[in-house]
Structure formats: C-alpha cells, structure tokens
Amino acid sequence: MYVRIITFLCVALIVVSPQIAAANTNRAVDITASKVRFSISHVFVERVNGTVPIASGSASFAGDSPIPASVTVTLDATKVSTGDPDQTGCIQSPDYFDVKKFPTWTFTSTKITANGAASFAIDGTLTMHGVAQPEHLDVTILNASGHQVYHAVGKVDRHLFGMKGSRLDPAIGGIAEVTLDVVLK
C-alpha cells in the first residue's frame, strides 16, 4: 500500500514539476536600455537633475502576469552624474553620497500590489549610504517598440539615509524625486 502511494506521489511530482518550473520565471534587467533619474531642489539653480546607472537587477514572475512577484536592483553610485562636473563631484563626496565608501545602492521588494492590469505598487527596502529604509514606488507598464517598459516613480528623503551635507545643506532639498524606466531581457 505504501509503495503505491509513494509511486503515485513520485509520478505526480514528475508530471507537475515542469509546470511549476514553467510557472515561475526570472528575467534580468537590461542595464543598457534601463534608466534611473533623480531630481532635487536647489536654491541656487532651481533643480539638480541626475542619473544613476543600474549595475544589475532581476524580476521574478509567477505565471504569465506582467506584474512581477519580486524585484531586486543594484545601482552603481560611483557613476552618479548630474552632467555638471562640479555638482557631480559634490554629490559624490562624503558630504552626500560618499560613493567611495558606499559604491552601490540596492532595492529589494518586500510587497508588490497590483492596481490593475498595467499598474502596481512596490514596497521594498532601499539600502543607500549604509542605511536601509523602506521605500515605495508606483509603477506603470508601458508598451514601447514591442516590449514592456516598467515606469516607476517615487520619492527618497536623503536625510533618512544620513546625508546631512555641508554648511550649505539648507540650500538643497531633502526629498529627491526618482524615476526609473526599466526594460527586462
């Protein structure tokens, strides 16, 4: 009797495992097609805009849903750029991002909530400047050139990450608006 049950379970597992494996897929972020931009107020120049390249990332999907079950992204802080060498040098310095000490930033989702067929919210943990904080992103799925682009927006309070800056700190806003356009391979 036990042999029949074990045999049945083994056969069932063999038949079902390919379906389970096919139901969960991981896709890498296309780092050359994806972009992360930020914008923060500055009293002397109105706004400082910049980019941070994605070093790596992946999304895990259950079934054929375009909404991921989980997301992980690593940004290369050493290549943060504003397009202005002086501004870039300032934000890369120990007064702000301290990129020599903290060369990468990571975001790992903790909860993803669908808001419809083409939009969802991601709650997760952002680790930046040696500090981990909860962050929220609102995401819309766009179709561009035959593939999906995940357009996410959020806000990051730099003070929560220990970035107090220099004596000019009051001249620079505390909240950075962040926009991500992510393409998966």
Average pLDDT over residues 130-148: 90
The answer to the question of residue 31 being in a domain is yes
SS3 label, residue 159: helix
The answer to the question of residue 35 being in a domain is yes
Range of the domain at 64: 24-183
The answer to the question of residue 37 being in a domain is yes
By the 10 Å C-beta count (0-12 exposed, 13-18 middle, 19+ buried), 46 is classed as exposed
pLDDT tier, 20 (very low <50, low <70, confident <90, very high otherwise): very low
Integer CA distances (angstroms), 34 to 10, 97, 144, in order: 43, 22, 13
Contact 119, 102 (CB under 8 A): no
Domain with residue 134: its CATH number is 2.40.128.110
How are strands ordered across the β-sheet holding 46-51?
Answer: 24-28, 54-62, 70-76, 104-116, 119-128, 131-144, 147-157, 175-183, 35-42, 46-51
Name the H helices within the chain: 2-23, 85-92
How many of the other CB atoms lie within 10 Å of CB of 73? 24
Q: What's the rounded Cα separation, in Å, for the pair 106 and 144?
A: 26
pTM listed for this prediction: 0.81
The answer to the question of residue 66 being in a domain is yes
Q: According to the model, what pLDDT value does residue 105 have? A: 96
The answer to the question of residue 45 being in a domain is yes
- In the chain, the percentage of residues whose pLDDT exceeds 90 is 59
- Could you identify the residue written with the tokens 């989980």? 70
Average pLDDT over residues 75-101: 91
The answer to the question of residue 6 being in a domain is no
Number of domains in the chain: 1
- How long is the chain? 185
Measured at the CA of 40, the angle between CA 115 and CA 74, to 5 degrees, comes to: 60
The answer on pLDDT for 15 being more than 70 is no
Residue of 38 and 6 predicted with greater confidence = 38
Which residue type does 5 have? I
The answer to the question of residue 14 being in a domain is no
The answer on pLDDT for 144 being more than 80 is no
The answer to the question of residue 153 being in a domain is yes
The answer on pLDDT for 17 being more than 90 is no
